[in-house]
Amino acid sequence: MTIRDIVKLLDAEILCGGENLDTEIHTACGSDMMSDVLAYVKDQSVLLTGLLNPQVVRTAEMMDMLCIVFVRGKRPEQNVIDLARDKGIVLLTTEKRLFLACGILYTNGLGG
């Protein structure tokens, strides 16, 4: 699926990176623990998280991820959005909770 499909499926709002919505995505991971993302994630290109600090964007950048989805209606501060924009990472926010958001993407064909 594409990031555009994720926006539709999760009824998400685009915070930045709207020009990259047609990027193809195959796998995702969900975690509030960046240490675990760094330790266990392999080639996942989307991170779903409820954590909002700048290190979420840094972690995604180190892992070559393309998109971060903030769950539970969370919204990062402007400096986090600016950092993501600078790195070319798409930021989305959805009202859905982490389990539900992951489940929707998984049942629609996104792998783990």
Partner 1 sequence: MDCIRLEYDVDGENFASAGNASESVKRTLKQMGVSPASVRRVAIAMYEGEINMVIHAHGGKAVAEVYPDRIEIRLQDTGPGIADIDLAMKAGYSTATENIRSLGFGAGMGLPNMKKYSDEMKIESTVGVGTTVFLRIDF
Span interacting with partner 1, options 7-15, 17-25, 27-35, 93-101, rule CB under 8 A: 27-35
| CB nearer partner 1, residue 7 or residue 47 | 47
Q: Residue from 33, 88, 111, 112 that binds partner 1 (CB under 8 A)?
A: 33
Question: Closest distance between partner 1 and the C-beta of residue 13, in Å?
Answer: 22
Residue choice 58, 72, 74, 85 for contact with partner 1 (CB under 8 A): 58
Q: Locate tokens 């389990």: which residue?
A: 99
* Exposure class string for 63-85: b at 16+ Cβ within 10 A, else e: bebbbbbbbeeeebeeebbebbe
Euclidean distance between CA atoms 72 and 63, whole angstroms: 23
Q: Is 75 in the site for partner 1 (CB under 8 A)?
A: no
- Work out whether the CA dihedral 91, 94, 99, 103 comes out positive or negative: negative
- Single out the residue of 24, 62, 75, 103 in contact with partner 1 (rule: CB under 8 A): 62
Q: From CA 75, how far away is CA 73, in angstroms rounded?
A: 7
Q: Which residues bind partner 1 (CB under 8 A)?
A: 32-36, 38-39, 49, 51, 53-56, 58-59, 61-64, 79
